Amino acid sequence: MMGIKENFKRGTLEMLILHLLKGEEMYGYQLTQEICVRSNGTFKITEGSMYPTLYRLLDKELISDRLELVGRRRTRVYYRIEPKGVEYLEKLTREYEITSAGIDAIMNYVPEEEK
DSSP 22-87: HHS-EEHHHHHHHHHHHTTTS----HHHHHHHHHHHHHTTSEEEEEEEETTTEEEEEEEE-HHHHH
The mean predicted confidence, pLDDT, of the chain is 90
Number of domains making up the chain:
1
Above 90 in pLDDT, residue 61?
yes
3-state secondary structure (DSSP) of residue 109? coil
* pTM of structure: 0.84
Q: Specify if 114 maps to a domain.
A: no
45: in domain: yes
Highest average pLDDT, of 36-45, 60-69, 91-100, comes from 60-69
Give the pLDDT of residue 7.
58
Which tops the pLDDT comparison, 30 or 72? 30
3-state secondary structure of 16: helix
Instruction: Please tell me the predicted confidence (pLDDT) of residue 113.
Output: 80
User: Which CATH number fits the domain that encloses residue 58?
Assistant: 1.10.10.10
pLDDT tens by residue, 1-12: 445 455 566 778
Q: What is the mean pLDDT of residues 101-106?
A: 93
- Res 21 pLDDT > 90: yes
Domain-located, residue 1:
no
* Position 115 in a domain: no
Q: Is residue 2 part of a domain?
A: no
Q: By the 8 A CB rule, do 28 and 17 touch?
A: no
Show the domain range for 94. 7-108
